[in-house]
Amino acid sequence: MSEPNLYPQAFLPIRDRIRAVVTVLLNNERKKAVEVGLPGTVFADGALDTLLELAADVACSIVFPAEDPDDGERPARAARVHRGLAQTCTAILSQEHGGQEYR
């Protein structure tokens, strides 16, 4: 994958629309979570994990377009990619947080 500044110009409006929709959705869901008393850390961890899970599934469907989504290998592959993304994200956030757990 490339850095966002290297995306073709034609993709930038698409990226902006995706980000805007996800931002609105997350803000609305955060408000609902607060209303029901869900701790902010639970919402943040759950939202991040859900986004990573979605990214893994989308990546697998792009890289393996002919793969049957109902075949057992696709969910297993997406789960492996999700686990790798989550572990990498946690390691980077911890490093950015001065070597401490980021939560």
How much is the pTM? Answer: 0.78
Q: Are residues 60 and 22 in the same domain?
A: no
Q: What is the pLDDT of residue 69?
A: 73
Task: Tell whether 58 and 20 lie within a shared domain.
Answer: no
The tens digit of pLDDT for each residue in 24-55 reads: 999 999 999 999 999 988 998 999 999 999 99
Same domain? For 18 and 53 the reply is: no
Give a yes or no: residue 80 inside a domain. Answer: yes
Query: Do 33 and 70 sit in the same domain of this protein?
Result: no
| Residues 3-13, mean pLDDT to the nearest whole number | 76
Distance separating alpha carbons of residues 18 and 68, to the nearest angstrom: 26
Residues 50 and 98 reside in one and the same domain: yes
Reported as a pLDDT band with limits 50, 70 and 90, residue 70 is confident
Report pLDDT for 3.
66
- Is 3 inside a domain boundary? no
Question: How many helices and strands, by DSSP H and E, does the chain display?
Answer: 3, 0
Whether residues 51 and 97 fall in one domain? yes
Q: Are residues 87 and 58 in the same domain?
A: yes
